Amino acid sequence: MSIEKFIEGIPKAELHLHIEGTFEPELMFEIAKRNNIKIKYSTVTELKNAYKFNNLQEFLDIYYAGANVLIHENDFYDLTWSYLNKVHEQNVKHVEIFFDPQTHTDRGISFDTVITGIYKALEDGKEKLGITFRLIMSFLRHLDEASAFKTLEQGLAYKKWISGVGLDSSEIGNPPSKFERVFAKSIEEGFITVAHAGEEGPAEYIWEALDLLNVKRIDHGNRCLDDHKLVDRLATQQIPLTLCPLSNLELKVVTDLKDHPIVKMMDKNLLVTVNSDDPAYFGGYMNENYLGIAKALNLSKRQITELVKNSFNASWLPDTEKEKYI
């Protein structure tokens, strides 16, 4: 069997996905039209041509601009439903997805509108497509602690729907320590914590995420390789890293997929997983991410199977559910 068919056929889990990053240009134009909002670009092609990034910040500027057209509950529903249908075709069985409440509440959209639209689609996805899910509310680290606290307060009313909290957006200059108290309160309230760390930022930020935010997974974590003591810690405790190969390529975290550290990390006994991050912006969903590294790094089917098993292992599914896949 070809490597393509093998990747397509194997049941997969996605653990690092920003729902706002699944906003395909075609849907963006459709929603902008019905909401009477003008997009800076006049055609889908023109918009897609703007997707050329030299770093994380250049991407974030376009990503936040795109999210501006999302106004009504059904916009958030359509965004999520369209993502679920896409990954259903790719044999994705379980998703743990981020949403960024502040991206929307800061422009006057209510927390309820955002989460209800997303959640209803996830419920429909479970019922109609058989995709199980967890939802993670992510704080924007370029904003202040007070704003994160306010967001946490808003999330408390939806505790039943939200499994965890995360930390994303502009990493350099916004260390995990900035959110130590918000995360402590989040844990007190029963949320699991994760954080983006070591994507562009230093290994020190990964230490902080572990020691100050008590995270159960590190999102990205590429830069851990700069610090062998950190690698030891992550390997010994089997803290999962949610890697995003195409994202790393598009944001110039790596210059070529052939240089992607995933195999080096597996060799160091790190619990690494493959994810798509912001697939509408980075040119691929789950299968494209797996295929990208499989080809660039000449991965065997055994290595791909191991990566897939890692994802189910690192997921927040109960053991009885995990066992179906590992």
- Using CB under 5 A as the criterion, which residues of the chain lie in contact with Zn ion when the complex forms? 277
d(CA 284, CA 266): 23
Q: How far is the CB of 108 from ligand ES4 (least distance, A)?
A: 21
Those residues with Cβ within 8 angstroms of residue 224's Cβ, 6 or more apart along the chain or in another chain: 198, 203, 206, 218, 230, 231, 234, 241, 270
Identify whether the C-beta of residue 246 lies closer than 8 Å to the C-beta of residue 210: no
In whole angstroms, the minimum distance from the beta carbon of 319 to ligand ES4 comes to: 30
Choose the contact partner of 139 out of ligand ES4, Zn ion, none; CB within 5 to 8 A by kind: none
**14 contact, one of ligand ES4, Zn ion, none, CB 5-8 Å limit per kind:** none
21 binds, among Zn ion, ligand ES4, none (CB under 5 to 8 A by kind): ligand ES4
Binding site for ligand ES4 (CB under 6 A): 18, 21, 56, 63, 168-169, 196, 199, 247, 277-278
Q: Is 100 annotated to bind ligand?
A: no
Residues with a known catalytic role: 199
142 is in an annotated binding site: no
Closer residue to Zn ion (CB): 75 or 277 = 277
Nearer to Zn ion, 73 or 223 (CB): 223
227 belongs to an annotated ligand binding site: no
CB of 18 to ligand ES4, least distance (A): 4
Q: Is 196 labelled a binding residue?
A: yes
Nearest-approach distance from CB 205 to ligand ES4, in angstroms: 12
Crossing angle (nearest 10°) for helices 25-34 and 73-88: 160
Is 104 annotated as a binding-site member?
no
Q: Choose among ligand ES4, Zn ion, none what residue 222 binds, the Cβ cut-off being 5 to 8 Å by kind.
A: none
Q: How far is CA 76 from CA 98, 113, 119, 122, 123, in A?
A: 13, 8, 9, 11, 13
Edge-first strand listing for the sheet containing 272-274: 12-18, 92-99, 132-140, 164-168, 192-197, 217-220, 241-243, 272-274
**Residues marked as binding for substrate?**
278
**Residues marked as binding for Zn(2+)?**
16, 18, 196, 277
